[in-house]
Amino acid sequence: MPDMPALVKPRPKKNEPWEPGLRLVERPVPEVEREDQVKVQVVKAAMCGTDVGIYQSRDSLRQEMKDNREEEVITGHEFCGVVEDAGTLGREHLARSFYERYVSHENDTVVQDFIGGRSYLEVADDPNFLDFLREYFYITSEMHKVCGVCHVCRTGQSHACQNTIIKGVHEDGIFTKYAVVPANNTLLIRKGEIPPEVIAYMDAFGNAVHTAQSINLMGASVAVLGIGVQGLMAAAIAKWCGASFVIATDFSNPDHGYTHEKLEQHRFQTARNVGVDECVDMALPDSRARLTELVMQYSNNTGVDAVLEMSGSADAYKDAMSIIRNGGTFALLGLPSKPITMDFSEQVIFPGVTIKGIIGRGMFHTWETMYRLLKTGMADLMLENGFVSHTFPLAEYKSAFEVHEQGEAIKVILEP
């Protein structure tokens, strides 16, 4: 098989500049080397904030990637693909997950005819099994590889494993044509259930779902601080799951070409389209007074039940503490670029505020939740409202990162 194009980033080297950008190179096509692996052909890949951080050579990613074993890594970790190959244990895992999810779909005659009353092990041994999956199913994967043996993993919190390896950050990812992933991390989705461009960013959608899962949304009053793609998805989930009202904030920056008008036309309008009740540009004069006024108006002078912090902004932390009610929940997904000072006595302990740090996706209950949310209408909601804003061939990656950096994009898809 000929080599494949791949977007790579060199490992940062001590005391040397880590130049911005990526390189498009030719790489050998990877093959299954372990019995528990699955080889996938990437159909669509999605860009996220981490990819932009790698592209821009941010210090936080420099620290994360400085100890990588390889000289350079294929970036990217959000994708939709099809099964290309699998080891013996990989075939068994695929067969079992396919069998358990779809054997009860009695109206799906294609699936039922293929199963034909056989066990999942018999299905796995069928020489036509992978061809069948390739024709009728998409595949995606949790790209956090966890150890499974540390205390955190063994007590049901593997999403926070202290030995996590992230594909596309620490080892080769999916901004390419073919990739090899752990079979246990994969999710098969029947073609026609969820559009492939949405499957491509399920990893990112999972972050928003995991954040939203940390609170009881039914009837809750919610503030979402920062409505990039993660915040937009979190706001949509909150309304979809029964929040009584949602207020969203963001920050225009005319010095970088992101004016209030552009913020209104892009993110705020999208937020309103998915059900957000009020949007506030925190760069405007008196915006904090307006935010407080709106919150108190909607909450009967109580404050919001929950704040979902998606921006990492130090100012957003201050905003959160000024609008959250006593006994409320503060869920943090955004990554601050510098230390943030808080008065824990006055802002957390005496008002009884619960703070929850969110990392990745719950493995794998978040995946099951988002599969059902997307399948039952949220995928259509996001597509109808332009969540997939741009699509580029992999070779035009510079244009893809440019629209992302200019604030013109929500979710950008790359096609190998």
The three-class DSSP label of residue 126 is coil
Distance CA 205, CA 207 (A): 5
Return the pLDDT at 1. Answer: 62
3-state secondary structure of 178: strand
9, amino acid identity: K
Q: What is the pLDDT of residue 255?
A: 80
pTM equals 0.93
| pLDDT at 302 (0 to 100) | 96
Distances (CA, A) of 293 to 10, 195, 220, 267, 296: 49, 40, 18, 22, 5
What are the structural domains of the chain? 4-206+362-415 (3.90.180.10), 215-357 (3.40.50.720)
Q: What single-letter DSSP state applies at residue 394?
A: G
Q: Residue 308: what are its φ and ψ, rounded to 5°? A: -105, 110
Give the pLDDT score at 335.
Answer: 85
pLDDT (tens place) for every residue of the chain, 416 residues total: 679 999 999 999 988 999 999 999 999 999 999 999 999 999 999 999 899 999 999 988 999 999 999 999 999 999 999 999 999 999 999 999 988 888 888 888 999 999 998 999 999 999 999 999 999 999 999 999 999 999 999 999 999 999 999 999 999 999 999 999 999 999 999 999 999 999 999 999 999 999 998 999 999 999 999 999 999 999 999 999 999 999 999 999 888 778 899 899 889 999 999 999 999 999 999 999 999 999 999 999 999 999 999 998 999 999 999 999 999 999 999 988 788 999 999 999 999 999 999 998 999 999 999 999 999 999 999 999 999 999 999 999 999 999 988 777 889 999 99
d(CA 182, CA 142): 9
- Residues whose CB falls within 8 Å of the CB of residue 63, separated by 6 or more in sequence, listed in order: none
For 377: left if phi > 0, alpha if psi spans -120 to 50, otherwise beta; the answer is: left
* Phi then psi dihedrals of residue 71, to 5 deg: -65, -35
> Interior CA angle at 353 toward 363 and 236, to 5°?
50
Looking at residue 193, what is its pLDDT?
96
* Structure confidence at residue 190 (pLDDT): 96
